[in-house]
Homo-oligomer: A and B are copies of this chain.
Amino acid sequence: MNTAPTSAEEADAAAKPAGQTRWLTDDEQRIWRSYLHASMLLEDHLDRQLQRDAGMPHIYYGLLVGLAEAPGRRLRMTELAMKSKITRSRLSHAIARLEKNGWVRREDCPSDKRGQFAVLTDAGAEVLGRTAPGHVTAVRQAVFERLTPQQQEALGEIMEIVAEGLQPSDAGADLPWLR
């Protein structure tokens, strides 16, 4: 199956024989599993919270927030995709769904006929305003209320570093930013 890695960059990882693999130490294992465990529970928790209270998954909520912060409450599809770290394809489907809800509207870009703007509607802004408090509270309860200021700061730095290493990269077909 994976005898033919597709990118030179990862050929190394995919082909490395078990004999010379540097496995995770017990400590690393413990840390990694804690991360997997917690990030999973957290994402599930927030997804359910928003699905219940706002009628959309966490990521869709993030899209509305992205638009709300943009000048004119509008963003080109590609910009929104980059800002939200998702593929254009995924965004297309997502916006189609949000459009059905009446929370977002598409508009043609006057200067580039290929382009589309995603625009937050009043109804969209209203949902956001109505559900943001509950969401912030959920995040606060799940994360910030449990961590010391030092831990919060450390978390920020750590995740910043991790994200850096996974960033854009010039490769990737449909994913100029997602390798």
Contact = CB atoms under 8 A, between A and B. Distances in A.
Interface of A: 1-2, 5-6, 10, 12-18, 21-24, 27-28, 30-32, 34-45, 49, 52-55, 62, 85, 127, 129-144, 146-147, 151-167, 178-179
Nearest to A150: B154
Contacts of A1: 53-55, 127
Please state the number of chain copies in the assembly. Answer: 2
A81 B160 CA distance: 31
Contacts of A163: 34, 37-38, 41
Contact of A131 (B2, B138, B143): B2
A159 B34 contact: yes
A160 B140 CA distance: 16
B167 A2 contact: no
Contacts of A18: 129, 132-133
Contact of A147 (B16, B139, B158): B158
Given A129-B18, A131-B2, A157 B165 contact: no
Contacts of A24: 136, 139-140, 144
A-B CB proximity, top 3 nearest: A31-B156, A38-B163, A21-B133
